Structure 1
Amino acid sequence: MKSFHRTIHNPHRLLRPPTTTLLPLTTTLCLPPPQTTMSTSSSSTQQNPEQSSLTQVLTYHNQTKHLFTNYARGPRGLDWDNQPNPFRRYISAPLRPLLHPNSGDSDLYSSLFKTLPFPKPINKITISEFFYDSLALSAWKSTGFSTWSLRVNPSSGNLHPTEAYIICPPVESVSDSGFVAHYAPKVHALEVRAQIPSGFFTNLFPDGSFLIGLTSVFWRESWKYGERGFRYCNHDVGHAIGAVSMAAAGQGWDVKVLDGLGHDELKKVMGLEVFSEFEIPERAVKGKFEEIEFEHPDCLLLVFPNGIDGFDVNYEDLRLAITEFSNLDWKGEPNSLSKEHVCWDIIYRTSEAVKKPLTLEKKFVIDPFEKSGTCSEDSYKHLPLRELVRKRRSAVDMDGVTSIERNTFYQILLHCLPSGCQEKQKRQLGLPYRAMDWDSEVHCVLFVHRVVDLPKGLYFLVRNEEHFDDLKKATRSEFKWEKPEGCPPELPLYELAQMDCMKLSKHLSCHQDIASDGCFSLGMVARVEPTLREKGVWMYPRLFWETGVLGQVLYLEAHAVGISATGIGCFFDDPVHEVLGLTGSNFQSLYHFTVGGPVVDKRITSLPAYPGPGVDA
């Protein structure tokens, strides 16, 4: 374990801009109540369970805001001796290595937004390509005595709290029967944890289908980011959904969240009952909590051949089939990630509050694929999907010089629209948003710095046009809300104010230059409290998933046009709202992003992803 810790700690100090001011950690954390801008109603002792859960979520959201006067609570410093191992392994589970495909054997990235290719069959080749293009290692980096890995799916602080499972029919050279396996990205292999009944897929899903489960290890993010780590875990789930959806599209497969299932069903189907129950302490404490390394089940994705329609998922039959998974012969013991831990109790109380119940009445709907808009096809470098996703990197710095053409900017935003070429934006129909089964709840406020022939200033992209009137009323009365020059008619982009907002965007993003040195930056503003009240408190993490999927598109779009991007989890929440004139809790900023010309650190050497260094990083 010592070598593991030595290889990882220096890159964070050398390469990454600070994303959190680290506050003193005490064993009591007796702080005054957090500043509150969201309604929390009466005390939980007088509330019904639904209201109590809502109060818990709103309390968490308020308490984990960064303010100009203080940051959300986090560790005093980084405990390098206990940095979590980013690689979960199931010791003694049968290991099935996957294949390493050629880099150019895939469709052009930009073509997938127009139409999906003919679906390929499930076999070892296509499953190998699917994981290679979505959740695998993409490279190793090295400088001095430090070596660390990168992945196709990005992660806050490169900490990778997201784990993935496949539940699949028989695949030759992997398993002679249907199986559940954990994906081990460090070795690009499947750890087969259980064999499942032969009729599971034939009775419940169309031919050529399989399932992908995603989970979160909260400890991995809270080790560095403290209480705000729960937010970042859910950003990462969204990035993983986006990465899975794009990789599936390259195989001609469609993806949909099976959101009728509840927390208990997800736990059973992925074999997470192997983890001991975690008893939440009454306050934040430091010590040895082996059970804190459990995996929280987030979602189950159905991957199926595109073009299939007319099938339904019977959630009652699926629930009954999943109950049998508790009796399967599960293989493998999860490895230990750290020797000691810090438990930020509010994370675990909130994760309990947002557990989704089973909703048997929920309908499984396959919406027709909707192509995304095009106004500047020449903006793209015409890269194959595999080459693009595996070369994607998070920029550490922006050069403050690079600009992009106005039509390139508009083209990027067209691929940020959930409904594609539909006349009105609302339902998530385009790639990769169609994996989510709720109407879009996330919008973008854009700080434009260096877009040729577009005035510097504040802009707003409305991603659900049913919210337009509410947004206009909720924001400053002096905002213009006018379509900018040359804007495609199908792009609901509005100029709010012309201004040089470089210093503003920098200060709002925790004083980070990267937010002002790009071509543009943005904040993702979600409709929060109304969504929780209308649809359920369990939508809270899903709002962050939606921002992560959108962020994944921004990453890929930036690289596809020859620049770069970076997600920004550190920003001052309420000051962002003040800039927009937002009050109350209807709309909240959940994630920031910056897009521009990257600064390449020539001290860093790139190494192939496989075979990589033998020491975990």
Structure 2
Amino acid sequence: MRIAEQEHSAIFFPSPPTPPIQNFQKCYLLTLKDGGEMPQLHSRVASILHRPRTHHHHLLRLVPIFNASKTTAFLPQRIARVTMSSTSTPYQDSIYQKEEKDEESIAQALKYHNQTKHNFTNYARGPRGLDWANQPNPFRRYVSAPLLQLLHPNSENFDVPPLYHEVFNSLPSPKPISKSTISQLFYYSLALSAWKSTGFSTWSLRVNPSSGNLHPTEAYIVAPPIDSLIDHPFVGHYAPKEHGLEIRAQIPSGFFGEVLPRNSFLIGLSSIFWREAWKYGERAFRYCNHDVGHAIGAVSMAAAGLGWEVKILDGLGYGELEKLMGLHVFPEFRIPSRPVKGEMPEIEFEHPDCVLLVYPSGMVDFEVDYKELSSAISEFLKLEWKGKPNLLSKEHVCWDIIYRTAEAAIKPLKMLKESIAHPYQSSELINENSYKGLTLWEVVRKRRSAVDMDGTTTMARETFFQILLHCMPTAVKRGGKQSKQVTLPFRALSWDAEVHAVLFVHRVLGLPKGLYFLARNEEHLDELRKSTRPEFTWVKPDGCPNDLPLYELAKGDFKELSKRLSCHQDIAGDGCFSLGMVAHFQPTLNDKGAWMYPRLFWETGVLGQVLYLEAHAVGISATGIGCFFDDPVHEVLGLRGTKFQSLYHFTVGGPVIDKRIMSLPAYPGPSIDA
């Protein structure tokens, strides 16, 4: 082993993998350049130190080598060179190659995240103007695929829904899978909710919100035969404008009941990045994943009204999702080396995001065998896939970093068995009178994104606390802590809560104006206190429920600051309160992998969906804010580095209605659309 003539060295020896490998003699000599008092540590070594559970190396010791004229303490932070000696097995080499690839993927996610931050002096790269002639068609259709029309509501074919706030406590008895219930699921989650017109243009709104109303999210159903709709198992694409299912393929009859539970079906979600990038450029990847989260929340809430549970099958990898939804039929997209413009129809491909298992509530103790499920999905390559995807734009702009980051964040298949169903846990209800007595269906269909706030509407303190209680992932009782995501709709997610909220309280009666923090995973609380400004008080406000981890950081009027931080938008300061969603960021990526990067945005989208519905259920409105100045938000909190990052902003308050815009029914709707 050769020791280079630099000032600091560290020796790492590998611990034996499982199963043990004999004669495992390989070791790393990590040699560091002279960096003065605090040399910089390469991210690969940092990940070894911070990820002992997922790395096959054990740090035995750090060996300081001192210069004759200096005795600097060893603080390793930048690798100059890695020298290897001895031999290794192919198994060992595959481990090192995988770890190297994992580190490169995380580095790409971090590069994207930093490159797409907005700052006071400059915004993330995007189009300098909107090319209206190439605005993407908001409706994907598979030309020549058979379209099965779904039902529209009437007193005979749609069930009486529960009140909105009731589903947070318990679910109704599960309904059977039928043409009626499948119609309801889509009508109250992903369908059109209205058309708007100014006389000069016409556009549609949907039940699920979207950044810029661009709707990059597409939805699929993989289901057994459905009474009165279709007599064989199938893959269908949901067409929201028609409120129908385009039948893409017939699938093997044994798929349900053998590898998936009986009386269950799948909802797949995918993203067309181009739809969002047309307006927002490089930052579009963030917004697409916000929208995936909103769609997960929307499907979960609609399913709850039918007595159904929803869970992401997160053991499946990218390849399985692609085959399951028939997205492998799109032509290969080769990522250019820089942003380019031109005719690129292949850029309109759909990126598979996730698949949701929908099953009757009350079902417990069943496992999904992902090895068996993956084997069954591999047969989908042999299916006859119907329909050709329509062209959305004539010309395109490729922001290459979006596609490199999406590729880096691809999730691999996990060959394991996983228990899916868990007993339902209700959220805490302290003030039923906060709600206006609306049914679940009324709330989800009337949800709108406010375009302006009136700056005068106030909110009762108890209503504010109730909204935040429904934003919590865990039903805390007997002194437990928030962490596991087991309440509606967060129970659809497969990981512990990683997203918190910093709140700018403007007009909540009985609560001082100021800066507050909602800790949605209390395992992070000590770390958050140490990472934020030392002058923050971290005290529970008066009247706050014991089980709500809400803390006052500082009193004061933060109205103007909240506006400046949200790209100078008045809407952030004119509501009752606004907030920034702060994620436990790089430690999560280091611990789990780059595939968690989009999932952190999904979690913010689910949280945002709850805020939308809660606001409408109490009689006001809300809107998501994707444009904010990232690092200035961190500066306000005193955050350094990338341990915590702000990913999404939101505002809740009294809306200003623009009377110049005419509202039209969602169906049948106008014959033209913008």
TM-score (norm 2): 0.85
> What's the counterpart of residue 106 of structure 2?
54
- Match for 1:228 among 283, 308, 315? 283
Please, which runs of 5 or more residues in structure 1 have no aligned partner? 1-36
**Residues 256-287 of structure 1, C-alpha deviations (whole Å, 9 max, x = no match):** 00000000000000000110110000000111
- Match for 2:388 among 333, 346, 363? 333
Distance (Å, rounded) in 2 between the aligned partners of 1:215 and 1:40: 31
> What's the counterpart of residue 265 of structure 2?
210
> What's the counterpart of residue 33 of structure 1?
none
Q: 1:331 to 1:548 in 2, by over 3 A?
A: same
8 A Cα contact 2:451 2:623, kept in partner: yes
> What's the counterpart of residue 475 of structure 1?
532
Q: 1:40 to 1:342 in 2, by over 3 A?
A: farther
* Partner secondary structure for residue 323 of structure 1: helix
**Residues 101-146 of structure 1, C-alpha deviations (whole Å, 9 max, x = no match):** 1388311110000001100000000000000000000000111221
8 A Cα contact 1:104 1:387, kept in partner: no
> What's the counterpart of residue 32 of structure 1?
none
* Partner secondary structure for residue 416 of structure 1: coil
State the superposition RMSD in angstroms. 1.6
Q: Which amino acid aligns with 1:389?
A: V
Asked if 1:550 corresponds to 2:593, the answer is no
Deviation at 1:505?
A: 0.2
Distance (Å, rounded) in 1 between the aligned partners of 2:417 and 2:638: 37
- Match for 1:98 among 136, 142, 150? 150
- Match for 2:557 among 483, 497, 500? 500
8 A Cα contact 1:137 1:609, kept in partner: yes
Deviation at 1:38?
A: 13
Deviation at 1:68?
A: 0.7
Asked if 1:279 corresponds to 2:345, the answer is no
**Residues 142-172 of structure 1, C-alpha deviations (whole Å, 9 max, x = no match):** 1122111000000000000000000000012
> What's the counterpart of residue 459 of structure 1?
516
Q: Which amino acid aligns with 1:476?
A: R
Distance (Å, rounded) in 1 between the aligned partners of 2:428 and 2:194: 32
Q: Which amino acid aligns with 1:489?
A: N
Asked if 1:560 corresponds to 2:617, the answer is yes
Give the 5 Å matches for 1:301-380. 301-361=356-416, 363-380=418-435
Distance (Å, rounded) in 2 between the aligned partners of 1:38 and 1:112: 50
Deviation at 1:482?
A: 0.3
Give the 5 Å matches for 1:119-268. 119-268=174-323
8 A Cα contact 1:521 1:592, kept in partner: yes
Distance (Å, rounded) in 2 between the aligned partners of 1:424 and 1:189: 43
8 A Cα contact 1:456 1:500, kept in partner: yes
**Residues 528-576 of structure 1, C-alpha deviations (whole Å, 9 max, x = no match):** 1000011111000000000000000000000000000000000000000
* Partner secondary structure for residue 471 of structure 2: coil
Distance (Å, rounded) in 2 between the aligned partners of 1:421 and 1:48: 40
8 A Cα contact 2:484 2:496, kept in partner: yes
Q: Which moved more, 1:365-374 or 1:603-612?
A: 365-374
**Residues 434-473 of structure 1, C-alpha deviations (whole Å, 9 max, x = no match):** 0001000000000000000100000000000000000000
> What's the counterpart of residue 532 of structure 1?
589
Distance (Å, rounded) in 1 between the aligned partners of 2:244 and 2:107: 42
Distance (Å, rounded) in 1 between the aligned partners of 2:417 and 2:609: 27
Deviation at 1:43?
A: 10
Deviation at 1:492?
A: 0.4
Q: Which amino acid aligns with 2:366?
A: F
**Residues 197-225 of structure 1, C-alpha deviations (whole Å, 9 max, x = no match):** 00000102222100000000000000000
- Match for 1:294 among 342, 349, 357? 349
Give the 5 Å matches for 1:15-30. none
* Partner secondary structure for residue 614 of structure 2: helix
**Residues 570-589 of structure 1, C-alpha deviations (whole Å, 9 max, x = no match):** 00000000000000111000
- Bigger radius of gyration: 2
Deviation at 1:173?
A: 3.0
Deviation at 1:375?
A: 1.4
Asked if 1:425 corresponds to 2:482, the answer is yes
Q: 1:38 to 1:479 in 2, by over 3 A?
A: farther
Q: 1:494 to 1:314 in 2, by over 3 A?
A: same
More relative contact order in 1 or in 2 (CA 8 Å, sep 6+)? 1
Q: Which amino acid aligns with 1:56?
A: Q
8 A Cα contact 2:504 2:516, kept in partner: yes
Residue identity (%): 70
Give the 5 Å matches for 1:401-416. 401-416=456-471
Q: Which amino acid aligns with 1:247?
A: A
Distance (Å, rounded) in 2 between the aligned partners of 1:210 and 1:564: 33
TM-score (norm 1): 0.92
8 A Cα contact 1:242 1:553, kept in partner: yes
Q: Which amino acid aligns with 2:280?
A: Y
Distance (Å, rounded) in 1 between the aligned partners of 2:635 and 2:288: 26
Q: 1:595 to 1:471 in 2, by over 3 A?
A: same
> What's the counterpart of residue 434 of structure 1?
491
Distance (Å, rounded) in 1 between the aligned partners of 2:415 and 2:313: 11
8 A Cα contact 2:190 2:207, kept in partner: yes
* Partner secondary structure for residue 313 of structure 1: strand
Please, which runs of 5 or more residues in structure 2 have no aligned partner? 1-39, 45-77, 83-98
Q: Which amino acid aligns with 2:652?
A: V
* Partner secondary structure for residue 48 of structure 1: helix
Q: 1:274 to 1:554 in 2, by over 3 A?
A: same
Distance (Å, rounded) in 2 between the aligned partners of 1:129 and 1:393: 19
Distance (Å, rounded) in 2 between the aligned partners of 1:514 and 1:447: 12
8 A Cα contact 1:458 1:501, kept in partner: yes
Asked if 1:514 corresponds to 2:596, the answer is no
> What's the counterpart of residue 640 of structure 2?
583
8 A Cα contact 2:365 2:420, kept in partner: no
Asked if 1:66 corresponds to 2:121, the answer is no
Q: Which moved more, 1:101-110 or 1:121-130?
A: 101-110
**Residues 484-507 of structure 1, C-alpha deviations (whole Å, 9 max, x = no match):** 000000100000000100000000
* Partner secondary structure for residue 363 of structure 1: strand
Distance (Å, rounded) in 1 between the aligned partners of 2:169 and 2:586: 35
**Residues 378-434 of structure 1, C-alpha deviations (whole Å, 9 max, x = no match):** 000011111110010000000000000000000000000001234310000000000
Asked if 1:78 corresponds to 2:114, the answer is no
Distance (Å, rounded) in 2 between the aligned partners of 1:101 and 1:535: 43
8 A Cα contact 2:365 2:422, kept in partner: no
> What's the counterpart of residue 21 of structure 1?
none
Give the 5 Å matches for 1:391-410. 391-410=446-465
